[in-house]
Each structure stands twice: as structure tokens, then as C-alpha cells.
Amino acid sequence: MAIGRGEGALAAGGARATDGALAKGHFFQPTVFTGVRPDARIAVEEIFGPVLAMVKVGGLEEAIEVNNASPYGLSSSIFTADVNRAFAAMRDLDTGIVYINHGTTGAETHLPFGGMRGTGNGHREAGHTMLDPFTEWKSIYVDFSGRLQRAQIDNI
């Protein structure tokens, strides 16, 4: 919490959650920091907790630059009604998952899940691709015609 307070203005939350069973752990209320620099630690590191570091940008291009400057790349989200901006974001954001008009929930278990750069372990867990790192694939073609075939289709 001290790092966050040194890198941005605390806009909401930030207190330790001590109600009931939460008193026995290390829990914090959802926390929002504003005025955070793009290179601040709380802006570029993965904080697996209810923390939002808001970085003000001048437009989509700068937002993509700020996003891609992080050493991590799990997921990104953009909210827009402009389909061209949505497709530019899909193309240019260097993250494993890109959401359009939706928050970064990461709950799509039927899809490959994982990040780019320093995020994850290089594999895409979940979905059918979760088996790929543990599987040696072999392709097999069988012809039961009883005659030798050329690469092209025989029409004779």
C-alpha cells in the first residue's frame, strides 16, 4: 500500500478489510489510485488483488503504447463504439487476451488462457489447447484403395 500511495493519489479504498473472517487474513478493500505515471510500479506490475492504477492517456495510440510498455501482458480491455478502433486494439495490443466492451474477467474456460511477455509460463492453459504442451502430435493418412496414388488426384 505504501508503494501505491507514493506513486498515485488514493481515490478510494486502500484500508485493510477486517470484517468477520477477513480479520484473520491479509485482505484490502478494493482500491483505486489516480494520477499514476505510465512507468510507475503499480501501473506496470501484476497486482493480483482489487487494485486499479489509473493512467491518463491522450488517445488509443498512447493507450496501446502504455499497455505494451509493461513487461507483462495477460489481458487488456477497451470500451468503444468504433469498430475500427476495436480492430486496431485487437491487432496492436500485446496481450494474450483482448476484451472489447467487457472487463478482463479471464473466466472463459473454453478458450486458451495465458499472457505474453513476462506473464504466465508460455503455455495457454484451458480449452483444447491445454493438452498441447503435454502431447506429441502425429498426423496419419491411410488410403484403403489398394493402388498407388500420386500427389494429384487421378482422373483416369
- What is the per-residue DSSP string for 7-20? HSEEEE--SBP-SG
What confidence score (pLDDT) does residue 114 get?
A: 63
Rounded Cα–Cα distance for residues 63 and 69 (Å): 10
Which pTM was predicted? 0.65
Q: What are the domain boundaries of the chain? A: 2-134
What confidence score (pLDDT) does residue 86 get?
A: 92
What confidence score (pLDDT) does residue 50 get?
A: 86
Rounded Cα–Cα distance for residues 127 and 147 (Å): 40
For 76-94, the pLDDT digits (tens) are 888 899 999 999 999 999 8
In the predicted structure, residue 126 carries a pLDDT above the cut 80: no
Note whether 89 and 65 are within 8 A (CB): no
Q: For the domain bounded by 2-134, which CATH number is listed?
A: 3.40.309.10
